[in-house]
């Protein structure tokens, strides 16, 4: 996923990046590593330039992950502990949500996405990776892995609220985004889709 963001230049030119459900800060770590590779001359020539954000900010619910992110990243990234359902979203040029939104109810998904749209300027970017509930066996496999991961993280009974890729696109359009969809499961058994939304 992170390689695809860099290889496709999706965050290029986006100054203020907000990572919702940031976990241990992997997105910021990848962006820092990418910039180092780019400046040192080891960047793949066929790729667009590395993103150079002016600020990165993450919001994460789990305190253990927040602590790890703060230790790993230091002051270079602001990591806040909070729930995306009510945490304040600062003005941003790009918002990233990877495998997060299906953990909250469908009404809460709608409200979070409306707040994301309000935090973005016109043509601001939303990158949303979701599971496609119409993905058949791949989606069921994704669900099983998801449950196992959550169980090992201490959340064995977390409900999920999934949609088909078409329903996710419809929801984003309802919230004020122009949407493109691209498969994001290459080389895996999952049914993931990356939705690229541009604020209208």
- Tell me how far apart the alpha carbons of residues 33 and 54 are, in angstroms, rounded to a whole number: 15
What is the distance between the alpha carbons of residues 76 and 196, in angstroms, rounded to a whole number? 26
Q: What is the pLDDT of residue 156?
A: 64
CB distance 108 to 85 below 8 Å: yes
Predicted confidence (pLDDT) at residue 9 exceeds the cutoff of 90: yes
In this predicted structure, what is the pLDDT of residue 138?
A: 84
CA 168 to centroid of chain Cα atoms: 14
Is the distance from CB of 134 to CB of 165 less than 8 angstroms? Answer: yes
Q: Is the pLDDT of residue 139 over 90?
A: no
Question: How many other C-beta atoms lie within 10 A of the C-beta of residue 19?
Answer: 27
Pairwise pLDDT comparison (137 vs 179), residue with the higher score? 179
Q: Report how many domains make up the chain.
A: 1
Tell me the per-residue pLDDT of 86-130, one tens digit each, with 9 for 90 and over.
999 999 999 999 999 999 999 999 999 999 999 999 999 999 999
Given the DSSP bridges, would you call strands 192-199 and 94-98 parallel, antiparallel or unpaired?
unpaired
pLDDT beyond 80 at 149: no
What pTM was computed for the model? 0.93
Structure tokens belonging to residue 154: 């201490």
Give the domain extent around 93: 2-199
C-alpha to C-alpha distance for 104 and 102, rounded to whole angstroms: 6
CA-nearest of 144, 188, 128, 191 to 164 is 191
Q: Residue 190: which pLDDT band, with cuts at 50, 70 and 90?
A: confident
What CATH number corresponds to the domain at position 26? 3.40.50.150
Residue 59 pLDDT greater than 90, yes or no: yes
Place of tokens 């009510």: 86
Write down the H helix ranges in 25-174.
26-40, 63-73, 106-119, 137-152, 165-174
Longest alpha-carbon distance in the chain: 47
In DSSP terms, 147 is beta-bridged to none
């Amino acid at each position: 996923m992170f390689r695809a963001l860099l290889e496709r230049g999706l965050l290029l030119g986006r100054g203020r990046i907000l990572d919702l459900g940031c976990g241990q800060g992997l997105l910021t770590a990848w962006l820092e590593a990418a910039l180092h590779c780019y400046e040192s001359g080891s960047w793949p020539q066929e790729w667009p330039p590395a993103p150079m954000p002016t600020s990165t900010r993450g919001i994460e619910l789990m305190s253990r992950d927040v602590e790890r992110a703060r230790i790993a990243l230091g002051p270079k990234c602001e990591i806040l502990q909070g729930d995306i359902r009510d945490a304040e979203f600062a003005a941003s040029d790009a918002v990233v949500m990877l495998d997060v939104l299906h953990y909250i109810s469908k009404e809460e998904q709608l409200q979070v996405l409306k707040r994301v749209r309000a935090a973005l300027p016109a043509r601001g970017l939303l990158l949303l990776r979701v599971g496609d509930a119409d993905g058949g066996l791949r989606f069921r496999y994704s669900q099983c892995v998801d449950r196992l991961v959550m169980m090992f993280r201490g959340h064995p009974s977390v409900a999920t609220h999934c949609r088909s890729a078409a329903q996710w696109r419809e929801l984003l359009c309802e919230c004020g985004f122009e949407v493109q969809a691209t498969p994001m499961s290459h080389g895996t058994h999952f049914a993931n889709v990356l939705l690229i939304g541009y604020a209208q």
